[in-house]
Amino acid sequence: MTVLTLARRTGLVLGLPAVLFAIWWFATAGSTDFYVPPLSTILGKFGEVWTGERLLSDVVPSLVRLLTGYLLAVAVGVGLGLVVGMHRGVRDVLEPVLELFRAIPPPVLVPVIMLFAGIGDTMKVIVIVSGCMWPILLNTVEGVRAVDEVLSDTCRSYGITGPSRLWHLVLRSASPQIVTGMRQALSIAIILMVISEMFAASNGLGFTIVQFQRSFAIPEMWSGVLLLGLLGFALSLLFRVAENRVLAWYHGLRRAQRNP
Amino acid sequence: MLDVRNLQKIYTGRNRSVEALRNLTFHIGAGELVCLVGPSGCGKTTLLKCMAGLIDPTDGEVRLDGRPVDGPPPGMAVVFQEYGRSLFAWMNVRDNVALPLRRKKLGKAREKELVDHALEVVGLADAHQAYPWQLSGGMQQRVAIARAVAFEPKVLLMDEPFAAVDAQTRAELEDLIRRLWRELGVTVLFVTHDIDEAVYLGQRTIILSTSPTVVLEDLTIDLPDERDQLHTRSSTRFAELRAHVYEQIQRAKHHNGDTHAAVADRSDELALHKSES
């Protein structure tokens, strides 16, 4: 039974990608277009390009920048979100400014940040943080504001205050919204990692893909694009697994409310 | 034990202010079980929140053991009507009951003992690991009651705790409250809008007017201490008391703090009449 459902779910998840890959495979098979090489060629290059030395010299640095920037953004977004969400005065002052910053497309910040942070890893991490903290911050604010009044009164009357209240009431109760923000932020973080590497870098996935394109190594370039796609897919899968653990109560609650 | 003196609460809005409580004075002795009953929207919840130290009164004061209440006092537990919103959906039943105890630093063994016992007495001994949303409404309210019991309060405030559960469950829970009150020797203030409940549960029933609220009558419920759903509810005295409270509530619908004097006179007459009959 469980094996069957697992097989069924795997089929559902992988079915459409498999079909799309098949279409790609047959549509480009025997292609002589220099810019659209056959998928077989791309896949052939894939192993060659990404398993050897480049794994350490390009993939790992990219991932380190991505995770550093993302985790920092989570820390800043949740921390600031708690403060803004819990204090009305702070919210009234900051909210218009936050909306303004959020409206700036993050990639345009890259040249600006380069001016004062140079072109090293710090710049890339700052770009990622400054771009992907907004959904986390704004969702945290919403989540904190939505903390139930009755539950809040219950905590007060039982003397659950300070750090205990912050952890057991505010953070846990806002966690569904925080996770939503974190999910949006993850894809933004990947985009910004690539973009920041395309602007100015000496290694990394974005840098390597641009290098391949400039040196007309077209199948290699495509294999890089494919790798980025797979990376995004793997990260979102990982995120889903973590979410299902952390928010098991929330999904259960939602199911219970749907079928009383 | 619990003293309410000249309590007044005015909510000030942007354009108008609403006087929810006009002038309330009553006393609850240690170990008493007192019901507060009044027509819908008579400021019962406001009163309870003032007593729990969750909101500040505009005037007057609440005293617990002689000390003024200016924040949630340590020896008090509150059970709210909205059980679905007063439990932590992200904690199982056991953790919900145990969380308020952590602050008391009783030691693991004592904490475990209190939680086990509290869940036992409310009849949830085999639901420790369940999450609140996996339970029925009545069982969720039992969890909230168990949490209050484990907290070992001196005063237990209950704000229409059974208003949202079905009639059969409600009868069971009423008997549970009577039993816990007798076993634990805790002082209970039970707010309700249900007249039957107000008569069945308490030793005294305080009848409130509509808002701005005053005390209409402080009625002693002279039913025997041993009560059960079947016999108590079918006794003549129960019917008389019920009818009396009902009449007072009907009257209360048209009276409030502004017309209080006239009503108070009438209620004295009526109470006199009842005791004669």
User: Is domain B2-75+153-276 in CATH 2.60.40.60, yes or no?
Assistant: no
Nearest Cβ partner for A172 among B80, B82, B90: B90
Cβ pair A223, A146 in contact under 8 A: no
Q: Once rounded to an integer, what is the mean pLDDT over residues A143-155?
A: 94
pLDDT tens column, B82-128? 888 999 999 999 999 999 999 888 889 999 999 999 999 999 999 99
Query: Would you give the DSSP letter of residue B165?
Result: S
| Range 116-175 of B in CB contact (< 8 A) with A | 131, 133-134, 147, 151
Q: Once rounded to an integer, what is the mean pLDDT over residues B239-268?
A: 72
Query: So what's the pLDDT on residue B257?
Result: 64
Nearest-Cα distance to chain A for B175, in Å, is 24
Contacting residues of A for B53, CB less than 8 Å apart: 157
Nearest-Cα distance to chain A for B211, in Å, is 23
**Cα–Cα dist B20/A215, whole Å:** 79
Query: So what's the pLDDT on residue B267?
Result: 47
ipTM over 0.95: no
Contacting residues of B for A172, CB less than 8 Å apart: 88, 90
- Report, at the CATH architecture level, how domain A39-258 is classified: Orthogonal Bundle (1.10)
Domain spans in chain A, listed from the N-terminal domain onward: 39-258
Which of A158, A155, A177 lies closest to A166 in space, CA to CA? A155
User: Cβ of B74 under 8 Å from any chain A Cβ?
Assistant: yes
**Cis, bond preceding B212 (omega within 30 deg of 0):** yes
Above pLDDT 90, what percent of chain B?
50
Nearest-Cα distance to chain A for B75, in Å, is 9
pTM over 0.90: no
H or E segment and range at residue B218: strand B213-220
pLDDT tens column, A209-257? 999 999 999 999 999 999 999 999 999 999 999 999 999 999 999 998 8
Contacting residues of B for A149, CB less than 8 Å apart: 85
Query: So what's the pLDDT on residue B105?
Result: 87
Cβ pair B36, B191 in contact under 8 A: yes
Above pLDDT 70, what percent of chain B?
92
Cβ pair B214, B196 in contact under 8 A: no
Q: Once rounded to an integer, what is the mean pLDDT over residues B172-197?
A: 92
Q: Which amino acid is at B243?
A: A
User: Cβ of B83 under 8 Å from any chain A Cβ?
Assistant: no
**Cα–Cα dist A91/A231, whole Å:** 37
